Structure formats: C-alpha cells, structure tokens
Amino acid sequence: MNISGTTRVLGIFGCPVSHTLSPLMHNTAIEALGLDMVYMPFEVKPDNLADAVNAIRALNIVGVNITIPHKKSIIPFLDEISNDAKLIGAVNTIVNRKGKLIGHNTDGGGYIKSLGSELGFNVKGKNVLILGAGGAARAIAAGIAKGGACRIVIANRTVERGMSLADGFRSLFRDVEIIATGIKEKSLMRYVPDADLIVNTTSAGMNDKGGVKVPLKAVSTNAVVSDIIYKPRITKFLRNADKLGIRTHSGLGMLVEQGALSFKLWTGYDMPKDIVYKKLARKR
C-alpha cells in the first residue's frame, strides 16, 4: 500500500482498539480495489470524543467506524443520523459529506445479510431467541423485526433491561411478538424447543473463555445457533451445537457484512467480500 499526498483516510474510533480486525478488513478491500485510501485505528478516550469528532472535519477524514464505548455517546456530536441509527439508538459508522457528519448503523443489516449469504437463512416468519440485551442485541433485534420475524424472545440476566428493549420495540413492530425473559436454563427451556434461530450477543465465550449456557439438547436440528463473537471464530457454544448436528453461524460473517455496508457508504464501491473473508479467516 502506497501513501501519498492524495491518500484519503478512513478509520475506527474506540477504546480500546488494539483487538479490532477492521483495519485488516478494510485495507484488504482497499488494496484489492486499488483505491488511494488507508484505514487507521484511533484509540479515543471518552473525554476526548468531542475533539476526535471535530478532527474528522478538520482533517477531512472520509469516514470512521465507531466501536465500544462510543456508539451511543457520539450521537450528540453528529449533524444527522439515519433511520436505522435512530431505531437502534447507536451509531457504528460515520460518513463525512463535505463537513456534514452523518451517523449510520450497519450492525443489524450486516447480521441479517450474513445469515442469508452463509446459510440461506431468512428470518421472515421465524421464532428467534436472542441472548443478551445490550447494544448488539438491540441492533440485531431491530434487523430481525424489520425482516418480519414471528416472535423475538430477549433473554437477559437482568430481566428488566430485556423488558425495556422489548417494550420499546413492540410499538414499532406491532406484527412481531416480542417477549423478555431471564437467561437461566429454566426460563430458556420455555422457548428453546420452538426457536428457529438462537443468537448469542453477549461477551460470554470471547477469547474462548466460558460461554453461554443454553440447553442445546432441546434445540431443533432444523434450527441455527449463532454467535456474534469472532474471537475465536468458533466458540465453545458453537462447537457444542455442532456436536449435536445443529447448524451454526459465527460472528465473522457479521463482521464482514456490516463492514461491507460501511465501505459502500464511504467509497461507493462494493467490498470484495470473498477476498476479505478469506484473509480474516486465515488471521483467526
């Protein structure tokens, strides 16, 4: 990759950012397409967020991804946010349009696209069990509800948080049954047998430590068990499901698909996803 006086800059804001695969993903796409751009990681502490946003304009940065802990706190500093970002209440992508900063959220759309591209799975009319009620769960629940799911069950350790998410979405998606429950096995057993898709949005299982406890023997063999964690690519949760003959879906696909949506917003080009996916798979 050659850096010159005409090279345009993309990046990611987060704290920390040392773990992120986004630079590898986007720079692989940039190189494959021969674009005069570079994607850089920027560790931005919460106290410096306003200055970092101003730097996007001052340095004429084309756009940035936003990751933990800034996805919600960055919204007041932006000029405009998309409908998806409003629905989810978080931003993961900023586009700089001649100094006007527009926030988007590609997480939910990326997740739905990854299910379709990898497994041919369509959420329309399906029963979905989501583990967790944080920002990722909200984005994925929004994407699944928009996709026409029949029922969404949000299982969380703090049931009240799950109820808050469910209550907020019921008025927006009146044709979807949205329920909140606890995440203990007794609570899950009520919904696991009928679930067409079970997705872990919690950090349990990251770096192959621990994992979510779901009664997998009660899961239908026609169902899909999904985990948005991509480090490791195949978590203990997915390994256990695979041993029972259940179809599995890892977080790497979501990472690539949400990244591809961001890349298109910034550059106008389609990300060469096959090349990117292979590069990231080798990395993991």
Distance CA(156)–CA(46), nearest Å, equals 27
Query: SS3 sequence, the chain?
Result: CCCCCCCEEEEEEECCCCCCCHHHHHHHHHHHHCCCEEEEEEECCHHHHHHHHHHHHHCCCCEEEECCCCCCCCHHHCCEECHHHHHHCCCCEEEEECCEEEEECCHHHHHHHHHHHHHCCCCCCCEEEEECCCHHHHHHHHHHHHCCCCEEEEECCCHHHHHHHHHHHHCCCCCCEEEEECCCHHHHCCCHHHCCEEEECCCCCHHHCCCCCCCHHHCCCCCEEEECCCCCCCCHHHHHHHHCCCEEECHHHHHHHHHHHHHHHHHCCCCCHHHHHHHHHHHC
The catalytic residue among 45, 71, 100, 186 is 71
Angle subtended at Cα 252 by Cα 250 and Cα 256, rounded to the nearest 5 degrees? 140
Is residue 71 flagged as an active site residue?
A: yes
Residues noted as catalytic: 71
